[in-house]
Amino acid sequence: MPAAKSAKTTEHAVKPGLRVGVLALQGDVEEHLAALAACKAEGVRVKTVEELETIDGLIIPGGESTTIANLLERFKLQKPLLERAKAGMPVWGTCMGMIVMAEKVAGSKQPTLGLLHIEVKRNAFGRQIESTEEPLEIEGLDGKPFPGVFIRAPWIESAWGGAHILSFLEGKGVMVWQRNLLGTSFHPELTDDLRIHKYFLQMVSAAKQ
C-alpha cells in the first residue's frame, strides 16, 4: 500500500482499549476471537445493531457468502454496517468475508456490500488449492512469509479506485487494502501467526487517533 497511508507494523502503536467485533452470523467466529485475545485486544460477537454501535472495528469471517448477505438483511445489519464503514470504521473480511465486501463477484449477481473496489472469483483456485497452506509475501508485513491457509478460496480478479493488492499467489491477488478496509482470501485465524490480526488492530488504532 502507499507508504503515506500504510498500516505497516512499524508505524503505529496499538492503542489500549480497542473493542473489535466479529460478525457472529456464521463462520470462524471463535477462531478470530481467540486471535484477538492473544493480541491483548477485546473481541466481541456482533449480531445486533446495538452491538455494532459499540465497536471500533469489525471482522467478517469466513463462511458462505450468499448466506451471510441474506443474514445481514435479516438482522438489519447491512445499512448500519455500510454507514459505519463509509464513516471510517475499519472492516476486514477473510475468505467469504472478502467476497461479501467486494463490489463485484465474477459470474454472479449475488448481493454484496460493495465496499472494496475489487472483482473476486469464488472458489477460484479449485481443486489445486481447495485446502492448503502456502507461504505468502505480503507488502508492509515484516518478517518471514505468512502461512496462508486457503480453503476453497476466492482470488481477486481486478482492483481499482484506491484498492491496492498487497499479496499474490500464482499471479492472483489474495490480500487487498483500501483505506479503512482489508480483505484476505485466506484464513489468518486458522494459524498461530498473529501478524495480520495485529496489522488490522493497527488500522483500528489509527482510525481512533
Active-site residue among 32, 117, 164, 187? 187
The residues with which 176 forms a beta bridge, in sequence order, are: 165, 183
Q: Is residue 122 a contact partner of residue 105, using CB atoms and an 8 Å limit?
A: yes
Catalytic annotation present for 139: no
What b/e string do you get for 68-97 counting C-beta neighbours within 10 Å, with b at 16 or more?
Answer: bbebbeebebbeebeebbeeebbbbbbbbb
Angle formed at CA 99 by CA 139 and CA 132, multiple of 5 degrees: 65
Active-site residue among 32, 95, 117, 164? 95
Catalytic annotation present for 117: no
Q: Is residue 24 a contact partner of residue 44, using CB atoms and an 8 Å limit?
A: no
Catalytic annotation present for 39: no
Active-site residue among 32, 117, 164, 189? 189
Any idea which residues carry the catalytic annotation? 95, 187, 189
